[in-house]
Amino acid sequence: MHTLYDSETFSVTHMLANLDTDAQHPSGASKSEHGAQVLPMLLRHGFEIVDKRANKEVYLDGSWAELFQQHIQAWQANTPTQEEVEDTLERYAELAQNPLSIH
């Protein structure tokens, strides 16, 4: 888990799939008939976007995460202003339905 962005209004965390690369057989992995390691199909990453103003969060995975990853790559190529980042995050935050609860 890596915090990618944190401001007064938004926080973005990249959630990585847990993959034990040191073990011979990661959880759920098996060997194919040719001896190659076969990993589980559901290892996916995602992004958690927290709207601090509305106290809501949204988790992006699958195609939503891929789309958001494209935004991140574009930001790496052409450094955006904070306003551009916040505008993009606000559009994603509109998807947020889950109230934020602190444990």
Averaged pLDDT of the chain: 80
* Whole-structure pTM value: 0.70
In a domain, 70, yes or no: yes
Give the pLDDT confidence of 13-48 residue by residue, as tens digits: 998 876 554 444 444 445 555 666 665 555 668 999
Name which residue leads in pLDDT, 31 or 77: 77
28 assigned to some structural domain: no
The answer as to whether 87 is a domain residue is: yes
The pLDDT value given to residue 23: 43
Q: What pLDDT is recorded for position 41?
A: 59
Q: What is the total count of domains within the chain? A: 1
pLDDT of residue 1: 83
- Beta-carbon contacts of residue 13 (< 8 Å; ≥ 6 apart): 1, 2, 3, 4, 47, 48, 50
For 58, the domain range is 2-17+41-99
Would 33 be classed as within a structural domain? Answer: no
Residue 81 maps to a domain? yes
